[in-house]
């Protein structure tokens, strides 16, 4: 059977939520489509046989019979190229991964996608509501949710806290360091794992702590991250903004209780009744936040109860792969 051709364009296949979702779905999507990943800047650390956009555009010009049925663009730099594919008569889907803007260019190119794309994908209900307000209601939710992992054993974990992210200000590494300093004053021995998704400098966390045993890992694969999450009691996150935050979703699926700042689209599935939240950045709030973590780390029954409550909060979502397949079939039928 002839497979319909789908292109998915990203700036580069670096280690991040958007790119990990592409990697996780790549094999399954290629079972039903001829699914190809394109990049703008560089191949990045994740390899799914991605091709550079330049050669793809040249092939479109040379051979009209080898054009894709659909082009999906993710992240702001990619949306500008969606217009080029649309000129060639190719159906364009702009995929929006959050309703916040990191900077001016992000705002401009996201708006280009809103206005000119034939179809729109969003990763959460919150992003969808953002488009609703602008009367752009031709969208489908494709959540960062994959098959629920085995969480039959949420108790008995050997890592107390885990943090996963890039060594960047957006992820608020400065706040993470401040948090560790406060946590260390609580006179409770804790094991903390820091997983740096890029090649960040691990000496950022070089301080010797009195009560914290700190382990640092660089450029860990998603498979290895999942293994660490399954061993962890709490998942820590202090970002200024996120989309749906795939790592937070994975942490919940692995039974690691979120202790986080609820930002961006995370409010779709998290609230203070099922996880620990840092609602404001102040010395008092951070101190209370640390005390709650220490207290809950010593109460496995309550921690497990909250972890299971978080897991149930994901029940209303379809998984990424089935939602993506169904939506593409609806577009090309």
108 and 188 assigned to the same domain: no
141 and 90 assigned to the same domain: yes
138 and 166 assigned to the same domain: no
Residue 150 lies inside a defined structural domain of this protein: no
Residue 73 lies inside a defined structural domain of this protein: yes
The model's pTM is 0.84
Residue 103 lies inside a defined structural domain of this protein: yes
As a whole number of angstroms, the distance between CA 321 and CA 81 comes to 24
Residue 152 has pLDDT above 60, yes or no: no
130 and 261 assigned to the same domain: no
Q: Quote the pLDDT of residue 287.
A: 96
Residue 185 lies inside a defined structural domain of this protein: yes
193 and 305 assigned to the same domain: yes
Number of structural domains, the chain?
2
Reported as a pLDDT band with limits 50, 70 and 90, residue 148 is low
Which is it for the CA torsion 317, 20, 311, 234, positive or negative? negative
The CATH number that applies at residue 184 is: 3.40.50.2000
Q: Quote the pLDDT of residue 154.
A: 64
What is the average pLDDT across 193-206? Answer: 72
Residue 203 lies inside a defined structural domain of this protein: yes
Residue 282 lies inside a defined structural domain of this protein: yes
pLDDT tens across 78-129, in order?
Answer: 998 898 899 888 999 999 987 777 788 888 888 888 889 999 999 888 888 8
Among 20-24, 60-64, 160-164, the range scoring the smallest mean pLDDT is: 60-64
| Whether 258 contacts 293, CB under 8 Å | no
Q: Are strands 257-260 and 190-196 parallel, antiparallel or unpaired?
A: unpaired
245 and 114 assigned to the same domain: no
Quick one: what percent of the chain has pLDDT higher than 90?
Answer: 50
pLDDT tens across 247-256, in order?
Answer: 999 999 999 9
Residue 69 lies inside a defined structural domain of this protein: yes
180 and 127 assigned to the same domain: no
Among 194-208, 210-224, 304-318, the range scoring the smallest mean pLDDT is: 194-208
180 and 250 assigned to the same domain: yes
User: Biggest alpha carbon distance in the chain?
Assistant: 68
In the block, tokens 């958007």 appear at 18
49 and 174 assigned to the same domain: no
As a whole number of angstroms, the distance between CA 277 and CA 263 comes to 10
116 and 192 assigned to the same domain: no
Question: Containing domain of residue 197, as a range?
Answer: 159-312
Tokens of 314: 């994901």
Q: Which of 330, 327, 310 is nearest to 143 (CA)?
A: 327
69 and 173 assigned to the same domain: no
Q: Which of 55, 106, 30 is nearest to 324 (CA)?
A: 30
Q: Which of 256, 262, 261, 265 is nearest to 286 (CA)?
A: 261
Q: Quote the pLDDT of residue 170.
A: 83
Among 32-36, 230-234, 264-268, the range scoring the smallest mean pLDDT is: 264-268
Residue 151 lies inside a defined structural domain of this protein: no
Residue 151 has pLDDT above 70, yes or no: no
Reported as a pLDDT band with limits 50, 70 and 90, residue 59 is confident
What is the average pLDDT across 266-281? Answer: 89
187 and 292 assigned to the same domain: yes
């Amino acid at each position: 059977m002839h497979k319909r051709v789908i292109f998915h364009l990203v700036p580069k296949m670096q280690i991040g939520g958007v790119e990990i979702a592409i990697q996780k779905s790549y094999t399954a999507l290629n079972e039903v489509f001829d699914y190809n990943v394109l990049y703008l800047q560089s191949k990045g650390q994740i390899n799914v046989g991605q091709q550079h956009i330049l050669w793809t555009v040249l092939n479109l010009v040379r051979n009209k019979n080898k054009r894709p049925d659909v082009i999906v663009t993710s992240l702001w730099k990619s949306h500008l190229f969606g217009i080029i594919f649309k000129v060639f008569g190719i159906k364009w889907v702009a995929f929006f991964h959050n309703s916040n803007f990191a900077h001016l260019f992000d705002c401009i190119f996201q708006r280009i996608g809103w206005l000119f794309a034939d179809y729109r994908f969003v990763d959460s209900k919150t992003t969808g509501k953002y488009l609703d307000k602008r009367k752009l209601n031709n969208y489908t939710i494709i959540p960062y949710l994959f098959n629920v992992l085995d969480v039959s054993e949420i108790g008995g974990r050997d890592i107390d806290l885990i943090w996963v992210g890039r060594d960047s200000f957006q992820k608020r590494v400065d706040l993470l360091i401040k948090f560790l300093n406060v946590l260390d004053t609580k006179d409770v021995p804790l094991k903390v794992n820091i997983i740096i998704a890029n090649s960040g400098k691990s000496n950022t966390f070089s301080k010797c702590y009195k009560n914290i045993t700190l382990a640092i890992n660089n450029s860990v694969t998603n498979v290895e991250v999942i293994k660490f999450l399954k061993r962890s009691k709490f998942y820590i996150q202090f970002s200024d903004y996120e989309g749906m935050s795939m790592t937070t979703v994975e942490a919940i699926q692995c039974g690691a209780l979120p202790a986080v700042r609820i930002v961006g689209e995370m409010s779709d599935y998290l609230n203070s009744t099922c996880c620990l939240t840092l609602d404001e950045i102040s010395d008092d709030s951070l101190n209370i936040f640390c005390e709650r973590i220490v207290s809950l780390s010593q109460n496995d029954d309550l921690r497990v109860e909250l972890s299971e409550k978080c897991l149930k909060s994901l029940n209303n979502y379809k998984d990424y792969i089935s939602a993506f397949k169904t939506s593409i079939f609806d577009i090309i039928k």
